[in-house]
Amino acid sequence: MEELLRSGAPAGDPATAWARRRDDYRLVGPLNRHKFSVIVVGTGLAGAGTAAALGELGYRVHAFTFHDAPRRAHSVAAQGGINAARARKVDNDSVRRFVADTVKGGDFRGREADAFRLAEESVRVIDHLNALGAPFAREYGGALATRSFGGVQVSRTYYTRGQTGQQLQVAATGALQRQVAAGNVTLHTRQEMLDLIVADGRAQGIVVRDLVTGQIGAQTAHAVVLATGGYGTVFFQSTLARNSNATAAWRAHRRGALLASPSFVQFHPTALPVNAPWQTKTTLMSESLRNDGRIWVPRRAGDDRPANTIGEDERDYYLERKYPTYGNLTPRDVASRAAREQIEAGHGVGPLRNSVYLDFADARARLGKAVLAERYGNLFDMYRDATGEDPYEVPMRIAPAAHFTMGGLWSDYDLMTSIPGLFVGGEAGWGYHGANRLGANSLLSACVDGWFTLPYSVPNYLAGLLGEPVPASDHAAVRQAAADVHARIEALTGIGGSTGPAVFHRELGEILYRGCGVARSAAGLRTAVDEIDALSRRFWSDLRVTGGAGAFNQQLEHAGRVADFLELARLMCLDALDRDESCGAHFRIEHQTPDGEALRNDDDWCFASAWETTPDGTAVRHREPLTFDAVGLATRNYR
């Protein structure tokens, strides 16, 4: 039965909700903090920040990562920058304008109070990361430099050339390692979470597999924080690292944690196009390039001449034509749909006719090559290495690709999921971005969660557990969770089929790109559900996992992740089919304006969907009503 969910945000002015909530939080005294243990899964910006901050405060923290070092977390891949409403450019930016851009950018399908917290804490985030040693770009006079990103008309994005995520991750990892050295954080590397331990109705631990030895083990604690990133690799070809996956979040979901808006997936408009059938992933080119690059296609469909031989009067700068106010800095969902329209209308370029041009000729003439190299040099080098083409001389070729997931584990205003004691941070959560994320808000949301939200809200929860022991290793819930993991591994290795997990993963991605991609339809989604069901039956009857479970076995790792992807993908399609409207990146072709824009239905769908999967596999939708007091509901307009 559907339930209405409460956000837990304080009533009243959302602009002051976070300050009021912090003042109401219960505290744990310094002498009692060492009595509590907290598990943090994931060591990206959200996880590293949470673990380092809680360790600094005096809690006993166990940080888990499946990488060989915490700095290898996928936060390193975010290139362009991190937003902050510091208003240092004198361009009329403000906290309220930041909130308006974020809420509007998410097409009014995110939580308004969360957007205010994001904006308010963004000021502290930049100062904090600067103090940790992040080498932000600076103006000639020494002030931190900013640039613009899609969906805004101000300059609020702080950056470190095209390496922002990498440099912020280095800084955060340094803070984490300091706590490891101090003995406040125990770091567990090459450990993959395979299940959540729920005892006495609370999350009290995790079950992990040592990826080197294959050993299954359990760790218990008073609270668990999941900061395990997004699930974009469900599409097989995505901008995410190949090891990125959904297993930790999905296993928590199967233990009872609700999953919010799983169909809200962002397709990045400036990814490198797929050039060959053997390609296993796409490569992200930072949205920051759209500050100076101009996007165009040939006016004549099928025009296959080299780009530099096509005259200006034969080019269609379609974003500048359709959206003159924002031009090439339209939000990602708008830019991706526009590119898809051009490609499907026969104006695509490149060997497979599946991309559009991103051209820097005008910027080079105006600014000079040296300035472009200073702003984007490593991105240009990466493009040249990947394609063999020099973007200083010829336009880049770009195309939409699966990228960021706005959906994730549902959590309340305190970032606690529907399972008491289980918290979520970063891209694994859902609250800030609605149906579309604005560029440079991802690094920010991870940092706000990790450094300035969870270190407040987790102790508030722990304060009520003083004197409570954690479950022992022989507790019934611990033994059952470990037994379930063993049984699942045995099921995967015991199928004895003829097809490796990568084949199923690739087929799943093809189904999702067709049925639940940039544009969706009721008929296409129903077909996708049927195809996923058929693929799942083949997976569980014909999967081949070579090697054993008691040793290093990447094929077994992949098989477990694909098994979870199959279940997640089905729920994604059901969510997209259920939400009978268009909003942000969820574009149902049945619901569009006469000029092809997304057509929301606020009367019936102004809520966040939060899904439960029952033990028999039935999907049950719950909802959290969304209200907008500071930013009134309005039709998005970037023209």
Catalytic residues, by residue number, are 332
- Residue 125's contacts (CB-CB under 8 Å, 6 or more residues apart) are 82, 84, 444, 447, 448, 451, 452
Cα torsion for 211, 213, 219, 224, to the nearest 10°? 0
> What is d(CA 288, CA 305) in angstroms, rounded to the nearest whole number?
28
149 within 8 A of 78, measured Cβ to Cβ? no
- On the CB side of 556, CA atoms within 13 Å amount to 25
Residue 391: DSSP 8-state: T
Angle subtended at Cα 551 by Cα 546 and Cα 557, rounded to the nearest 5 degrees = 60
> What is d(CA 371, CA 366) in angstroms, rounded to the nearest whole number?
10
Cα torsion for 280, 512, 290, 136, to the nearest 10°? -70
Residue 10: DSSP 8-state: P
> What is d(CA 210, CA 66) in angstroms, rounded to the nearest whole number?
8
> What is d(CA 605, CA 409) in angstroms, rounded to the nearest whole number?
19
Cα torsion for 108, 113, 118, 124, to the nearest 10°? 160
Residue 144: DSSP 8-state: B
Beta strands in 336-376 (DSSP E): 356-359
- Specify the 3-state DSSP secondary structure of 199: strand
Partners of residue 620 on adjacent β-strands: 612
> What is d(CA 109, CA 330) in angstroms, rounded to the nearest whole number?
18
- Greatest alpha-carbon span in the chain: 75
482 within 8 A of 216, measured Cβ to Cβ? yes
Beta strands in 420-562 (DSSP E): 422-424
Rounded to the nearest angstrom, the gap between the alpha carbon of residue 347 and the centroid of all alpha carbons in its chain is 30
Residue where the block lists tokens 């609370």: 202
